[in-house]
């Protein structure tokens, strides 16, 4: 039997669902491309696996009729393409654009030889989606950005394609890696006004361009659609050139740093910022009994390489006499530790934390749950070097469950209609190089199980809202910090174990807790409805919000 007939038989077997009704249902949810991708996967791998990206394409990219409709659209916005090489696939993809008001500039003196509105810089081995310019024009008409970028996909070694659904712009994220890629759109007048940008680019001009433009404008738009394809499955990254771009950015902006280190993967970077002075850090730890966990935490803090800190254990209604004996012991053994008793007859995490901050004497406050075990001795420096920056309000960290799966890697606004921990319960080995979990980045929120903030800023923003006694208080505070114009930074180079909420039990145990949770849920929803409705800027709309995992939302997206 021929190889072709064997494959046909396998294909028939792959679509042999229970009945024809099931097939139609499958097509309705996943599209014909999804069904085809599943069948192909069966032939290749011996099992039917939904090709989520193929399904996403089927449901979200324009069909032939829509593409023809786009060709009728006219606008005065003109583009000038600057390309590295006259590569056939790239040039053909430009020529096939549904929006046709463009030229390709081959002259090195770009700005004196163009009358375009925007210049599009495109690297090697790139092919544009047919509708790329049409989508770019729509965003320009809506937001009039200075710099614009989009999502893309890339080729894997087995010739499959994988999407890169990116977050919106974040300076700490781009300083950690060039997640934006090698196709960027920049307003021509802006470049003419800042001629030095093009005159001083290094070898990796795309990364350098992004950094140089970003320091002069906040008008950066991100199109959450696949507008180009990276055809090079083994793209070489010029590490030294990218590090030079980072160094020059820091120098131009008078940001003091000690070193730029390699991150976990090639093309990832970690900046070691200078710590100014020797500020005091107040570590605030709420506690009720559970002295075994607290003891483990305090033991882990002993290894801290930064020494100017105090520890405030905020005692809240402990019942075991051994707890108070333990308090006496730790205060005698370590003069940095002080126990402050907070006397209310009910549990209110926000009130406990606010009381601890009020009693603190440090310049910076580190909120820390009693069921954490710190694993990085330089954790205080790693957090302090971010919150010392004038633009940063909070620095949060990565936390593991005891089995080393992820407990916290930042918070996504909108998960299950509210907020959720990213990548919860995923094991480290299951992440890809393209995932963001192991780079410093800006996020909308991080958990107060371990985060640092300047004390004056905490007080200025009135601390945690005591109406949110247990749930959402840390996310609420993070959003207040961002609303005030500060960044929330996630630093995965600080990590520890989190045994999670042992001191108070689960919220589902009794009716009173359920009612309290519902009340706090409604308050949070009402307060941040616009933010939730708009979507988390650091979480792409093409990922699902019904799960903590970063999974493709292959249904039709409402952009």
The CATH code of the domain that includes 73 is: 3.90.550.10
Tell me the three state secondary structure of residue 368. Answer: strand
In this structure, is residue 58 part of a structural domain? no
CA distance 537 to 169: 8
CA-nearest of 316, 307, 358 to 336 is 307
Does 524 share its domain with 420?
A: yes
C-beta of residue 422 within 8 angstroms of C-beta of residue 412: yes
Does 302 share its domain with 436?
A: yes
Does 444 share its domain with 476?
A: yes
Does 8 share its domain with 69?
A: no
Does 37 share its domain with 98?
A: no
Does 45 share its domain with 172?
A: no
Does 242 share its domain with 296?
A: no
Does 41 share its domain with 92?
A: no
Quote the pLDDT of residue 6. 65
Does 427 share its domain with 489?
A: yes
DSSP 8-state class, residue 457: H
Does 365 share its domain with 511?
A: yes
- Give the chain's residues under pLDDT 50: 17-19, 47, 502-506
In this structure, is residue 331 part of a structural domain? yes
Does 90 share its domain with 206?
A: yes
The CA-CA-CA angle for residues 96, 97, 100, to 5°, reads 115
Within its chain, how far is the Cα of 430 from the centroid?
17
DSSP string, 126-164: EEE-TTHHHHHHHHHHHH--SEEEEEEEEE-TTS-EEEE
In this structure, is residue 557 part of a structural domain? no
In this structure, is residue 113 part of a structural domain? yes
Quote the pLDDT of residue 17. 47
In this structure, is residue 359 part of a structural domain? yes
CA distance 200 to 187: 18
pLDDT per residue over 20-79, tens digit each? 655 665 666 566 766 676 666 555 555 455 578 888 998 899 999 999 999 999 999 999
DSSP 8-state class, residue 19: S
Quote the pLDDT of residue 257. 97
Q: Where in the sequence is the domain holding 19, given as residue range(s)?
A: 3-50
At residue 475, φ and ψ (nearest 5 deg) are -65, -40
In this structure, is residue 420 part of a structural domain? yes
Torsion 18-20-23-24 (CA) sign: negative
C-beta of residue 460 within 8 angstroms of C-beta of residue 434: no
CA distance 366 to 304: 14
**Number of folded domains that form the chain:** 3
**If residue 285 lies in a helix (H) or strand (E), which one and from where to where?**
strand 281-287
Quote the pLDDT of residue 51. 72
In this structure, is residue 465 part of a structural domain? yes
DSSP bridge pairs for 282: 310, 365
DSSP 8-state class, residue 527: H
In this structure, is residue 258 part of a structural domain? no
Q: How many helices (H) and strands (E) in the chain?
A: 19, 22
Those residues with Cβ within 8 angstroms of residue 430's Cβ, 6 or more apart along the chain or in another chain: none
Does 363 share its domain with 417?
A: yes
């Amino acid at each position: 039997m021929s190889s072709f007939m064997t494959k046909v038989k396998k294909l028939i077997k792959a679509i042999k669902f229970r009945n024809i009704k099931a097939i139609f249902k499958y097509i309705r949810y996943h599209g014909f491309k999804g069904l085809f991708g599943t069948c192909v996967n069966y032939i290749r791998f011996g099992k039917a696996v939904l090709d989520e990206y193929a399904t996403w394409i089927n449901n979200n990219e324009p069909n032939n009729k829509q593409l023809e409709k786009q060709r009728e659209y006219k606008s005065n916005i003109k583009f000038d393409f600057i390309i590295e090489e006259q590569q056939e696939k790239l040039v053909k993809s430009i020529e096939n654009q549904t929006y046709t008001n463009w030229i390709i500039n081959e002259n090195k003196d770009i700005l004196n030889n163009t009358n375009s509105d925007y210049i599009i810089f495109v690297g090697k081995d790139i092919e544009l989606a047919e509708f790329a310019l049409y989508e770019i024009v729509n965003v320009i008409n809506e937001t009039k950005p200075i710099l614009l970028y989009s999502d893309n996909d890339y080729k894997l070694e087995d010739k499959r394609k994988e999407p890169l659904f990116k977050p919106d712009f974040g300076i700490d994220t781009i300083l950690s890696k060039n997640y934006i890629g090698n196709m960027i759109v920049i307003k021509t007048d802006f470049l003419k006004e800042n001629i030095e940008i093009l005159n001083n680019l290094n070898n990796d001009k795309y990364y350098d361009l992004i950094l140089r433009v970003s320091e002069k404008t906040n008008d950066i738009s991100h199109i959450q659609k696949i507008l180009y394809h990276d055809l090079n499955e083994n793209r070489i990254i010029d590490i030294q050139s990218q590090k030079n771009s980072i160094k020059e950015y820091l120098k131009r902006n008078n940001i003091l740093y000690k070193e730029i280190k390699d991150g976990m993967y090639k093309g990832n970077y970690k900046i070691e910022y200078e710590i100014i002075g020797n500020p005091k850090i107040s570590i605030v730890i709420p506690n009720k009994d559970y002295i075994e966990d607290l003891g483990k935490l305090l033991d882990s803090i002993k290894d801290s390489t930064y020494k100017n800190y105090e520890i405030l254990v905020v005692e809240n209604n402990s019942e075991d006499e051994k707890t108070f004996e333990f308090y006496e012991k730790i205060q005698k053994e370590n003069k940095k530790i002080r126990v402050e008793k907070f006397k209310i007859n009910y549990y209110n995490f926000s009130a406990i934390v606010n009381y601890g901050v009020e009693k603190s004497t440090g310049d910076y406050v580190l909120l820390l749950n009693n069921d954490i075990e710190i694993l990085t001795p330089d954790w205080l420096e790693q957090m302090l070097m971010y919150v010392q920056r004038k633009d940063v309000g909070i620095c949060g960290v990565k936390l593991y469950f005891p089995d080393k799966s992820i407990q916290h890697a930042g918070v996504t606004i909108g998960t299950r209609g509210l907020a959720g921990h990213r990548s919860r319960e995923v094991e480290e080995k299951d992440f890809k190089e393209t995932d963001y979990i192991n780079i410093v980045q800006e996020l909308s929120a991080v958990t107060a199980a371990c985060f640092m903030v300047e004390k004056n800023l905490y007080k200025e923003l009135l601390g945690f809202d005591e109406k949110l006694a247990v749930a959402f208080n840390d996310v609420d505070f993070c959003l207040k910090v961002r609303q005030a114009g500060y960044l929330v930074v996630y630093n995965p180079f600080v990590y520890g174990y989190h045994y999670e909420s042992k001191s108070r039990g689960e919220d589902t145990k009794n009716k009173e807790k359920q009612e309290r949770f519902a009340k706090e849920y409604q308050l949070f929803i009402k307060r941040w409805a616009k933010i939730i409705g708009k979507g988390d800027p650091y979480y792409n709309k093409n990922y699902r919000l019904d799960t903590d995992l970063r999974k493709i939302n292959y249904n039709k997206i409402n952009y």
